[in-house]
């Protein structure tokens, strides 16, 4: 009996990459899996409408239980069909993994409206719609695990991908608020940040999957509202926005006083203007 035996997992974007490996790992741990994939890979290349069914075949070949869904997680109707299908097949939803998304990169001064909306829909809208419906079920069940895959481009920043970075940072806020709202229903919500490392790029999905399984299990019931990253064999916990330092003046802050005091008082605590790539400058530990 695996640590997820008897549980049902809905995995959005499970036809390829990290989502696929999470689906297989959770099935190996005993979970019944709804494998959702709309047929588009994260790179928008290699479109394969049968991707979800191939993952189902892999899971059933090893003795697991799974079925495929190709409904779009970016629409209200599609999300309702995904959730209804999982409930019809398995009677409940215990785990939701939001791992879908696409990229269409441009800097802020060149990005088109279509690029902006398409990427935000694939990431943020899909995560919200899937979370909204499954949270209702989990609240009634008094139990559930929600896991969001997000990018370091959103948490730290990057060049040329303002739509992608914005969507991912918004999902962090979504996850945090869901964690707070669902606390007394025994439903957790956490983020995982897969980080590329030159010597370990091929192992990213395999390294992320065990953490996802752990966060979906009973041992993680008291972990919620957190952000973990996986880089090679490293697992890290991200800090979250909190006040770093304050300044106060009994007579308030006219502009000339701010000009004299703000920078000397706060500059040492400013967040550096780093990109995700420059921040992770060290090799991952073997």
CATH number at residue 38: 3.40.50.720
pLDDT of residue 200: 46
- Distance of alpha carbon 6 from alpha carbon 94, whole angstroms: 9
Q: How confident is the model at residue 46 (pLDDT cuts 50, 70, 90)?
A: very low
- 132: pLDDT strictly greater than 80: yes
Give a yes or no: residue 210 inside a domain. yes
Give a yes or no: residue 78 inside a domain. yes
Give a yes or no: residue 144 inside a domain. yes
- 68: pLDDT strictly greater than 90: yes
Give a yes or no: residue 122 inside a domain. yes
Mean pLDDT of the region 47-76:
92
166-190 pLDDT, tens digit per residue, is 999 999 999 999 999 999 999 999 9
pLDDT of residue 196: 81
Give a yes or no: residue 30 inside a domain. yes
Report the percent of the chain where pLDDT is more than 90. Answer: 84
Give a yes or no: residue 265 inside a domain. no
Compare 201 and 88 and report the one with higher pLDDT. Answer: 88
CB 190 within 8 A of CB 179: yes
Q: How far is residue 8 from each of residues 16, 60, 87, 226, 228, measured CA to CA in Å?
A: 20, 15, 9, 22, 23
Angle between helices 17-28 and 51-61 (to 10 degrees): 20
Mean pLDDT of the region 48-53:
84
* Token duo for residue 246: 């304050």
Domain count, the chain: 1
DSSP-based three-state secondary structure for 48: coil
Q: How confident is the model at residue 42 (pLDDT cuts 50, 70, 90)?
A: very low
* Token duo for residue 222: 């008291």
How are strands ordered across the β-sheet holding 8-12?
Answer: 66-69, 32-36, 8-12, 95-98, 144-149, 187-194, 227-231, 234-237
252-269 pLDDT, tens digit per residue, is 999 999 999 999 999 999
Can you name the residues that pair with 22 across neighbouring β-strands?
A: none
Give catalytic residues, as residue numbers: 164
- Distance of alpha carbon 274 from alpha carbon 96, whole angstroms: 32
- 43: pLDDT strictly greater than 50: no
pLDDT of residue 203: 56
Closest to 161 measured CA to CA, from 119, 131, 125: 119
Give a yes or no: residue 279 inside a domain. no
* Token duo for residue 182: 């669902």
pLDDT of residue 126: 96
pLDDT of residue 199: 47
Question: Domain range spanning residue 110?
Answer: 8-237
- Distance of alpha carbon 271 from alpha carbon 7, whole angstroms: 41
Give a yes or no: residue 211 inside a domain. yes
pLDDT of residue 197: 64
Mean pLDDT of the region 46-67:
89
Can you name the residues that pair with 97 across neighbouring β-strands?
A: 11, 147
């Amino acid at each position: 009996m695996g640590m997820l035996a008897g549980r049902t997992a809905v995995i959005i974007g499970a036809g390829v990459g990290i989502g696929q490996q999470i689906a297989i790992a959770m099935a190996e741990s005993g979970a019944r899996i709804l494998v959702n994939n709309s047929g588009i890979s994260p790179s928008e290349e290699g479109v394969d409408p049968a991707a979800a069914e191939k993952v189902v075949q892999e899971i059933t070949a090893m003795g697991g239980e799974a079925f495929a869904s190709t409904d779009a997680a970016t629409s209200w109707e599609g999300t309702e069909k995904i959730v209804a299908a999982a409930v019809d097949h398995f009677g409940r939803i215990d785990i939701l993994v939001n791992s879908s998304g696409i990229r269409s990169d441009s800097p802020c001064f060149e990005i088109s409206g279509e690029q902006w909306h398409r990427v935000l829909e694939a990431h943020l809208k899909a995560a919200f719609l899937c979370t909204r419906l499954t949270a209702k079920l989990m609240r009634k069940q008094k139990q559930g695990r929600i896991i969001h895959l997000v990018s370091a481009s959103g948490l730290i920043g990057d060049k040329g991908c303002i739509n992608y970075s914005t969507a991912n940072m918004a999902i962090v806020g979504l996850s945090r608020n869901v964690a707070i709202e669902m606390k007394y229903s025994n439903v957790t919500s956490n983020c995982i940040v897969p980080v590329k490392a030159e010597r370990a790029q091929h192992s990213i999905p395999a390294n992320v999957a065990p953490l996802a399984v752990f966060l979906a299990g009973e041992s993680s019931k008291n972990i919620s509202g957190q952000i973990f990253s996986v880089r090679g064999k490293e697992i890290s916990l991200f800090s979250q926005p909190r006040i770093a330092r304050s300044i106060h003046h009994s007579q308030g802050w006219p502009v000339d006083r701010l000009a004299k005091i703000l920078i000397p008082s706060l500059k040492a605590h400013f967040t550096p203007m780093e990109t995700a790539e420059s921040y992770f400058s060290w090799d991952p530990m073997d």
